[in-house]
Amino acid sequence: MSAEPVGDESNDLVPLLDECYGLVTGAVSYLGPRDLLRATHLEAWTVQDLLFHQLLDAQRALMAFAQPIEDSADTDAVSYWKGFTRQTSPEEEAAHARYVRLSAAAYGPGDGLVRHWTDLSTAALNAAHRTPPAVRVRTQGHVLTARDFVHTLVVEASVHYLDLTVRLDAAPPPMRGLSLVREVLEGLLASPLPARWDDVEAALKGTGRVELSAEDRQDLGYLAGGFPVFG
């Protein structure tokens, strides 16, 4: 799936994004229609639904890399996630879940969605390899460097890989990507997470996939009130 970078100024995080997207492709490539309907960590979404959501991320990435801008960056790889710390209303969540469900179902029972994901993610990676890290791009209403943008894509892909594969026989998660998730969580909290948490546990608890235990709350103290840190 990878492409050769162009020029001397390559983005050092793009190979990690390549790994994350490759893991997703490997996890879904041989799934049958029933497997695509398996549950994920996200209550409202099946594997098929979540794959469509990730397809939208790859599409967003491709569009951003294709339109570099001259504006100054207004966010970075950590502060970008501040916009995702507030929980949406149940009505908004339900509306988005319906959109994702209907859109994913429109591909039918075959492998059309998997092929579309594979094509779009490959195109996004090709564009990422060719974009110097200091170039600025716009996404989600923010401007950030290409390197920071790739960082956000790795974080999202790493968390969603945990979501996607919770009931699938799949390769282990991208641990380097999950270390970036922990980096974001600790950056937003301005405090380290409990040392007894490995990076998988940190990602699941930090993003609200798994509830905090009483021991967790004791370890975190007042910081527990800030969970989930982002979702």
Average pLDDT score over residue span 26-44: 93
DSSP structure class, residue 108: -
Strand partners, 145: 136
User: Looking at this protein, which amino acid is placed at residue 5?
Assistant: P
Average pLDDT score over residue span 205-216: 97
Q: Kind and range of the H or E element at 138?
A: strand 136-139
DSSP structure class, residue 183: H
DSSP structure class, residue 87: P
Whole-number pLDDT of residue 5:
38
Least confident among 85-99, 169-183, 192-206: 85-99
Residues of the chain above pLDDT 90, percent: 86
Whole-number pLDDT of residue 94:
82
More confident: 121 or 10: 121
pLDDT digit string, tens, across residues 137-157: 999 999 999 999 999 999 999
What mean pLDDT value characterizes the chain?
93
Whole-number pLDDT of residue 6:
39
The confidence band for 161, taking pLDDT boundaries of 50, 70 and 90, is very high
Helices (H), 37-189: 47-65, 90-105, 112-129, 146-164, 175-189
Average pLDDT score over residue span 79-99: 81
Average pLDDT score over residue span 17-35: 96
Average pLDDT score over residue span 189-211: 97
The confidence band for 11, taking pLDDT boundaries of 50, 70 and 90, is confident
